[in-house]
Structure 1
């Protein structure tokens, strides 16, 4: 059975990003269903998978990371409005039996992601 997990890396400071609020949504038939909310731990990870087993289905999902709030809490000054505030990652799950690890690598000015295992 597959699972969906994430973690956040702060490349400005070279550390895992602790305290990032994350929301998970599933998109289906024009609706956006909220599935989970989590906050990253000291390793920049969630304490448990966001979805696993039968809860992970084929389809389109969104992870929303509140990375602008994280950097503000770290004392990073950024002009308003923030250049990077909420990062919305929309991705597809083709085979829910596989593991989908969707990390965020971020600074106040850029971000990237990849599919991990």
Structure 2
């Protein structure tokens, strides 16, 4: 979570992530640093999270922040030689009991057939 972000309604977060800086890296070789960061992200993305105790929060809360990124290389003749676009999602969740939380974005498998909170309350 980026420092200074607030909720959808303009209220500060009830919870906040605890972050500890262990190491800082720098390099004069940009491509080597990008490769290093990409490798670390790939390894961390595949890590299995293990929690022995189920936390209990006063208020359950899930926030997702979406960032569109675009990078392009244009030479001095205004010719586009390379481009990259990606979307990054940063999730911050405080849900009691550590349940399995599934979030679908443009989910083709479900095709919009999802039970909403209102449907659950009516049944």
Q: Tell me the TM-score normalised to structure 1 length.
A: 0.29
Which one has the largest radius of gyration?
2
Structure with the larger RCO, 1 or 2 (CA within 8 Å, 6+ apart): 1
Q: Tell me the TM-score normalised to structure 2 length.
A: 0.28
Q: Which has the higher helix share?
A: 2
